[in-house]
Chains A and B, each alone.
Chain A
């Protein structure tokens, strides 16, 4: 995007772009914490989704709730769009800048403010790295449950924005199940505390609306997360299968037997090959593998693991491996967690998809994906959270071959449509961001999208918080055929189109 059209869009919004308020922002956060140098802005042009880069006007790095509130007020008064950013590891372009915007980076706010082990929570700033929460309390036997694969680099604030998951969601839930309270700066600069110590705070569950809202409803400046006691013991096994059909049947059988594994991950042939290439693990060449964790009290875990292994065998497992010690267990998990990056070893480029299907449909959907891949003339590696039906198809392609990138993107889209057809979702944990906005209208009806837009109006009437994300079209009521009919909330002056 050129500077001229950026300024044009900003002007259309009634503002002159973030440059115009650079001095005011510097007065709030200090000149060192406002980045305007084009070379330094380069890293802020995208997040983990690296195509479709946009250069922001500037980056502002506040150090406290008060500074965030002051920055938000300045931006609002000048109609400057704000794009909040945590560690920049998101995979859906949620932190991609928009022309004329100020990126509001929370990376300076990385203090753990308070630990209350008796009541089981930690209060942290949004820039704190996910794994650092667990590191801070592990000595006392506690941990923070949500564990996205990027947990050693992603931030709690980003996790809240995307409602991040991880490998242990089946038993432990997602970020939304582990956030007890949040301090939030609203679009008008007001500071509110959402949630609280009770399981159900009175009034509307604004915290539920906020978690997963991808930085569009407010800026989180403090988060209180639930801490869990480390389970007494964890048992892991790795099982190989001739194909994903048998592996899928094993997953269904295990759940149907009343077992709730802490994690149950599936890899297909291509993913196994990649993981082996990257880690040197001595995994066999097979059609599919499962990696399962059971955790809890020792006797219970022994009982459950033994039963799950029996079921895997009955479903057609070729081989079961139980790690001899913690080091070997960690190695098995390393194989799983490195699978994404490992795909880079067998393909020059790849695209990470993230879709959800009901667990009972895994085998069928994987076959459908195989068929779609064949039609597109591309390879797809599957490594995913089988217990909760969260697929991560990795579409392999070669960007140097003309047209292949577009074909890969199209295949990714077809896979998402498949997820919708099977009653699932276009994203299980990466968010919609900039990447999947176009698919929202396929998963949701216009009534659903309108209502989401109106919720946004209630939080951010001027639509300055992370604009252009999540929603498919820049108008209140989505794309409806026929003449536009104003919504009663618009007539009453409570919401407006944009």
Chain B
């Protein structure tokens, strides 16, 4: 342990009760991992904070001794955003997990950052309300993490990503200011949109301690359909046709052939041999007949491009079955190859077939299988590079790098919803150029002049 860390620990021990400081190596090891598969980067200490003022105190101590601070919550992120790459103090928000208020009248909820997204959704549904962002990990991930990464999900196509639902924030900046920005009303344009700037800043500008989210009335009816195609190209064609037809489904999920082969292992649906792709489509609204009419219209639109029948779920049980096909994909892929690295890119919708093809070809060149699935409606694809042994990792990393560059070259981006974090920091400049990265570094510097908050993330090292 370095002298500054020892001094910071002594200060923390004075400021916080012992049970809120974790030094146990085993537990610290857990704080040093997330879902990025980048390995373990444990912090020197974890502080279980309970308020904005306590976080300010941590920042004061960290600033005095120049020790890094990393915010952590559910650790379900996929880009390594919470890994303590320079060790230091992990600020854990797990205790700040209260839903402070749900207001059906104003259509807002006020929550602490440690609230699990799925739990917030369940709580607002009891009031007939709806919090749309639905990252795949919604049963684990927290609102704070969603705000940090600007999380998306299948429903983003119709409802947008986390950013569209954050009306206001309370956040602590490393220099000690406690910001209360945004508003309870859905409108308000006074001053710069610091709320918008903090959403998606990956825990590098401030630590969020309270979030005011916008809610919608819950759509009362949902219809779901599954359509099989003989190729990704014909599925992509169908996606364009649906969207051009004036229907905005709440999601349009694409699965490629490798994904289908994996999904077929547990899915109640039998996919025809040689199925090249599938789309999962969902419409929603308040009038049952019109929601069903919409899904039928989707079915008619895609019929020409489809291979075989369009399966429309006739009841809630069938709907769940269709979704299980998609939700367990990530697990099922591991039955094909025990290890995988899931990449997250986005390309213009018209470039989806090209992206899927390129990812496959890049994999093949490195002797690897790539399975692609994702939110086709907004071009956000998850390219999963499958492999069997840890020793293959260097090859996998090469393939991943090429996939990221391919996305940029197709006019897309290196991350659709998972964030840059540690995993993709070396690719930011490839996409955005030197001047834009320089501007972001200047912003980082005015929020965090000492560079103590979540160092080593987002920007090339």
Contact = CB atoms under 8 A, between A and B. Distances in A.
Do chains A and B stick together as partners?
A: yes
Interface of A: 117-120, 141, 162-163, 165, 169-170, 173-174, 176-177, 186, 190-194, 196-206, 208-209, 211-213, 217, 229-230, 232, 252, 255-260, 296-300, 303-304, 356-360, 385, 388-390, 423-432, 436, 440, 443-445, 447-452, 454-459, 470, 487-489, 491-492, 494-495
A452 B193 CA distance: 9
A484 to B, nearest CB: 16
A458 B446 contact: yes
Nearest to A117: B244
B244 A176 contact: no
A470 B217 CA distance: 35
Nearest to A200: B150
A430 B184 CA distance: 18
A162 B189 contact: yes
B100 interface: no
B290 A299 contact: yes
Contacts of B218: 258
A444 B189 contact: no
Nearest to B243: A120
Contact of B152 (A174, A199, A303): A199
Given A208-B193, A455-B443, A197 B105 contact: no
B42 interface: no
9 contacts: A193-B436, A209-B196, A212-B189, A299-B290, A356-B188, A451-B177, A452-B194, A454-B446, A454-B447
B15 interface: no
Interface of B: 103-108, 128, 150, 152, 156, 160-161, 163-164, 173, 175, 177-181, 183-197, 199-201, 205, 216-218, 220, 240, 243-244, 246, 248, 285-287, 289-291, 293-294, 346-350, 378-380, 411-417, 419-420, 424, 428, 431-433, 435-437, 439-440, 442-447, 449-450, 458
A356 B217 CA distance: 21
A165 B189 CA distance: 10
A445 B180 contact: yes
Contacts, number: 284
Contact of B445 (A117, A206, A429, A489): A489
Contacts of B417: 199-200
A426 B190 contact: yes
A300 B247 CA distance: 13
Contact of B184 (A203, A205, A217, A358): A358
A163 B449 contact: no
Contact of B200 (A165, A205, A457, A470): A205
Nearest to B108: A358
B176 to A, nearest CB: 8
A177 B442 CA distance: 25
> Most chain-A CB neighbours within 10 Å: which of B194, B444, B446?
B446
Contact of B287 (A120, A232, A300, A430): A300
Contacts of B216: 260
Given A196-B413, A358-B106, A489 B436 contact: no
